[in-house]
Structure 1
């Protein structure tokens, strides 16, 4: 970031510029983490390791599915082979006692099934773990692609994996809470107004020694906005009910406010059903007390 220059003597900067400078100075500027790394994979690795949202990789879902189908079919072939051996067994005693079984062909098939099944189970568990990883956000993929295009230190063929949007995952949290999503929206909204700070982030030709700016300002604006939204949702119906003379109108406002609360808690949080029910019951009780006292 370029140092802020003082205004010429006798001239004052516009108030908006002063406010912007104060906000920018309050934001801690991260130290470059990649400037001392050689160009290429060393610098690229240092850049994506600095933030978990930049650690974007492919799942290779199609290849994993192909391997699962192949192993599944191999087990099916062995299963049919074992069934054929069992149905063609001449000595029925061998089928009723494993200890007395002298059919070596059946033993060999069972050993093959055990080995194939172990590999199949391991691949299923690995694929399930990878499938549960968080889908990479489009804005994070685009930001990393801009960095790669601006630096040109990675071969084009080796950076094409960023084009597989639906097959990319990241190490960030599985489900972002409402505050995290609001922080992302606030940061995107602040970019046009504070380009003197965010211009390097928004540039198509990002230098190699620039890391993602701190979300200091976005976090505080998002927290203030979230507090205002929660306060409005909880208190506004109470204020409206206190000014309504009709009991039916107050009951209707109470019902609507409880439905809005349930919708917000269910849609924007990971609360369980019993927790949503408890929160709505408590809120409805408070509202009904106000309604009855007002009447």
Structure 2
């Protein structure tokens, strides 16, 4: 069994939902079946607001708009080369070439359209990729309720171009909270009790407030960070050989960077800076305790 939105396999007859909090939504069953109920479900959990970015269609339109501007550019160059009055090219206020004036107006409109399109495309491509657990949760809910036409929900199968409109959160915290939520649902039956108020009367649909999940996740995160920072110090205190201490520093720095890059979306320069700072602190400790 898993929560709606988790990464573990689902039963097709038991979709589950796990929004971050209970914000006073009515029961899902109070909405008519179909899009009204599906929209209520999506609005209960921001990451469920997923949509296609239509990358191929955007690329196709971009190529067409780009080619149109290229042709207009070629036409303008041709008009300039065939200009019979050089004065028109050197003083735009005196330009009486109607073809050039009309063409420049068309170029301006096309450029404006091109700029708006590229700006919208850039904004769409900047959205976060939808998490697999959220997409799978929506698919399970649809399969379990059968209240939407299959052909109108096929967009969920195109996972490679699904994005979420929800603001990007702390990737490490989100992953940890998802893991904690999965474990609580699997091993702690009290987690499914009425004190975690559900927004659905369906026994297989769970919409929890995440206070417990958040507290457990924060505790685990603090323990993990403390362990990462202090474990090499403890090991180096036990080991007296300088060469072994250096090996410990190298191993711990590599482990630190691997975990950091896996849990967060850090840039290369940020990883280098974090690794350098971490290694420097450990080297200072080693040198201060061994005369290195």
- Normalised by the shorter chain, which TM-score bucket? 0.7 to 0.9
Aligned residues: 263
In 2, Cα distance between equivalents of 1:51 and 1:28: 9
In 2, Cα distance between equivalents of 1:209 and 1:247: 58
In 1, Cα distance between equivalents of 2:36 and 2:146: 13
Say which of 43, 53, 58 aligns to 2:52: 58
Per the alignment, residue 238 of structure 2 pairs with 243
In 1, Cα distance between equivalents of 2:266 and 2:159: 29
The 3-state SS of whatever aligns with 1:169 is: strand
- TM-score (normalizing by structure 2): 0.77
Say which of 248, 256, 261 aligns to 1:253: 248
Is residue 2:100 matched to residue 1:106? Answer: yes
CA contact (8 A) 1:241 1:253 kept: yes
Tell me: higher relative CO, structure 1 or 2? Use CA pairs within 8 A at least 6 residues apart: 2
Q: CA deviation at 1:212?
A: 2.7
Question: What do the CA deviations read for 1:186-241 (whole angstroms, capped 9, x no partner)?
Answer: 22333332467559xxxxxx949945333344333322222222222211211122
Say which of 28, 39, 50 aligns to 1:34: 28
Runs of 5+ in structure 1 lacking a partner?
1-26, 200-205
Q: Deviating runs (4+, > 6 A) in structure 1?
A: 27-31
Say which of 215, 224, 233 aligns to 2:219: 224
Q: Which has the larger radius of gyration?
A: 1
- Taking a change above 3 Å as real, the CA distance of residues 163 and 198 of structure 1, as seen in their structure-2 partners, is farther
Runs of 5+ in structure 2 lacking a partner?
1-20, 194-200
- TM-score (normalizing by structure 1): 0.77
Kindly report the root-mean-square deviation, in angstroms, between the aligned alpha carbons of the 2 structures: 3.1
- Matches of residues 195-234 of structure 1 in structure 2 within 5 Å? 207=202, 210-234=205-229
Say which of 144, 151, 166 aligns to 1:150: 144
